[in-house]
Amino acid sequence: MEAPTQELPTLIKRLLTTDSEEQLEEFFTSEVEFRHPLVIIQSSPDSRNKLFSLYKYCQVLTGPHQVEVHEVMFDPHKKIGFIHYTTKLHPLLFPYLTVTVRTMSHADFRVNKDGRWIISKMEDFISNEDLLNLVVPYSQPIVNYFKAIGGLASISAGKVLEKIGWFEKEVDRETESDWVVER
């Protein structure tokens, strides 16, 4: 890639929609490492081919994808990039259902022998709710219910601990400093 901020959206769309490995080879090292909440591809001499096979398999499982890219960031000094996008897909077992998956991808770059940026490691971050909704459709209300209970329990525990003095602040006498230490 010559301009990753302009080419990363194209890459993501191609990864999720194309069958052609040749269109994608220019973006990844042959030993690319890939991490996803459900999958890890370790760096190896043929890991790029494994990555392409994985994306083809995902296309079969989730049908046609509609990709909307929201943000792209690239830092040439740190050699990292981020892309935030949303994918709308249709699970094989529920083709009538459209599932929206929000993803933040982090990529480590290096410069290849032609002087172009190429991805050596890519990691996808997907919310737990979106992953569960992909596997168990219509699970969002159940997830929200348990999150609300967790929130109420945490708030209640915090208030009780505050009342019994758990959060009182004191000065650390051992070092005679002004640092505040919480029990």
Class of domain 4-137: alpha beta
pLDDT score at 183: 39
pLDDT score at 64: 77
pLDDT score at 180: 42
pLDDT score at 65: 83
The answer, as to whether pTM is greater than 0.75, is yes
For 139-163, the pLDDT digits (tens) are 888 888 999 999 999 999 999 998 8
Where does CATH 3.10.450.50 sit in the chain? 4-137
Amino acid, single-letter form, for residue 158: G
pLDDT score at 150: 96
pLDDT score at 118: 94
pLDDT score at 175: 55
pLDDT score at 98: 87
Task: Compute mean pLDDT per 10 residues along the chain, 183 residues long, and list them.
Answer: 89 81 83 94 93 88 86 93 92 84 95 93 92 83 92 95 79 51 40
pLDDT score at 120: 96
